[in-house]
Structure 1
Amino acid sequence: MPLLVIPYPTFDPVLIHIGPLAIRWYALAYIFGILIGWAYARVLIRSERLWGGKAPFTVVVFDDFVLWVTFGIILGGRIGYVLFYNLPFFAAHPLEIFQLWQGGMSFHGGFTGCVLAVVLFARKRGLSILSLGDLTCAVGPIGLFLGRIANFINGELWGRPADVPWAMVFPTGGPIPRHPSQLYEATLEGLVLFIALAVMIRMGALKRPGLIVGAFATLYAIARSTCEFFREPDAQLGFLWGGATMGQLLSIPLFIAGLAFIAYAMKHPARSP
């Protein structure tokens, strides 16, 4: 047992009730993640120095893209969770697939939906798929950070049993002190990843289309796989092949794809005015 167990600060997952409408922290995490990321992307687009000239698209065009990527993230995230994490349950209760307010989103599914949104929108508008993907990935850690904080507020996706001084007893995790793995993920997948990509952008990464996409995929896969060692696997899945979790297995192809994008970007000359 740990020498000190930090009491879990119990939160109400619903921020406020407005008549029959319940505004949940989980929904706000997505809303503010998209809005803050949108604002940050507009700043990056306006900086010609970062792109080696004018950005491959305008702020107005990116504004149109936001709706596409929002649907891609939500639909992909939900479909990914249904297929990868709890298919038997949803097959038996199909109407619950649409109850997004109950939680249940997959990053890897959301990332796939985001990729499809980027490809379809870029082809429709005649834009650079890689550059649009770079910008989307540059702002992605903002949403990841807020999403993991929302997981912590909801008291879900808690960690494995722990004897560290900062272990917590979660309301739905039994009486055993556990790792606050949501905060680990918020730090690595959110803050650390955002800072790493921001530094790369300052060093000229946007001048090499595909480099930020590759760095995002590779670094996220490493961060997620690391955090999975502290996170309790989903009860309906448990440990899978070789003792790995679903999150770790899904991160393997993401890591390999990231390396391929980095190699492709570094093989081509950087954009210049």
Structure 2
Amino acid sequence: MKKLFSKIARGEEGVTLLVVLIMMTLGSVLVIPTLNFAATSIETGEVFEEKMEALYAAEAGVEDALWKMINAIPDNFPHSYELTDINGMTVDVVIDKITTIAGVEIGDFGVHADWLIIDKSITYDEGIYTYTITITNDGDGNIKIEGILIDFPPGLDYVTGSTGGDLYNDDPMVVGDATTGITIYWQFDPYPTIPMTESRVHFFELSGPPDVSGVEGHCCVEARRQDEGTVWDTDSSPFTVTAQAKDANGTVIATIRTGFWESGTTSITCWQVNP
């Protein structure tokens, strides 16, 4: 009996040793990938943290540019400058005028842009906005109108066949949709003339829910005479701000580009991260 127990004990010792060796082998196989995963997780977290800090830095650049456009508008565009030590980064900021909207080239103000006066009125009834533009020639000669462009916020659609008035009756080119906002553009041919001291009316309809924010849109009228140029209503003009956050090596980590309207206050129309 004693010999039997000795044999069993010796057999168990052999099994125990085998199990220990197997566990050690499995442990060595699992530990390395686990350590690699932990190292990768730490590295990924550091990269994510740097990216977030860069995005906050770029956003600070955009906010600084918007402040400038409200309080100290630059004399010339594009206007470039640099912010330092924003989350330990440098932020390059560029403010520039927008020259193209919805594929339509937008000219600059002329010397006598104030000769062309733009007034808007909007009424709403049962899902339809009736939009009326009155253009007055306050200059000392006849003015020919090349086109009218209006940019609208989301929530509105142009009503086909609704254009009328003294200038043009054809439907405009419509770019975009109600989800993102539409831009409508009438290009006149031949150019309608507004005699000195007289006014002309242009109207159309938009469909949409009541109380759409910004329903008045941003309207510009292009005049034939060079000294009028492009005239925007309510002294609003389209601009863009690009802010790039760079690390100590000058590598761009994050970029934010914002489109906005300047009219005493700023109205942001788009926001792109790393465009």
User: Under a length normalisation based on structure 2, what TM-score does the superposition of the two structures give?
Assistant: 0.21
Query: Could you say which structure has the higher strand fraction?
Result: 2
TM-score calculated relative to the size of structure 1: 0.21
- Which of 1 and 2 has greater Rg? 2
> Which structure's residues are more often helix, by fraction?
1
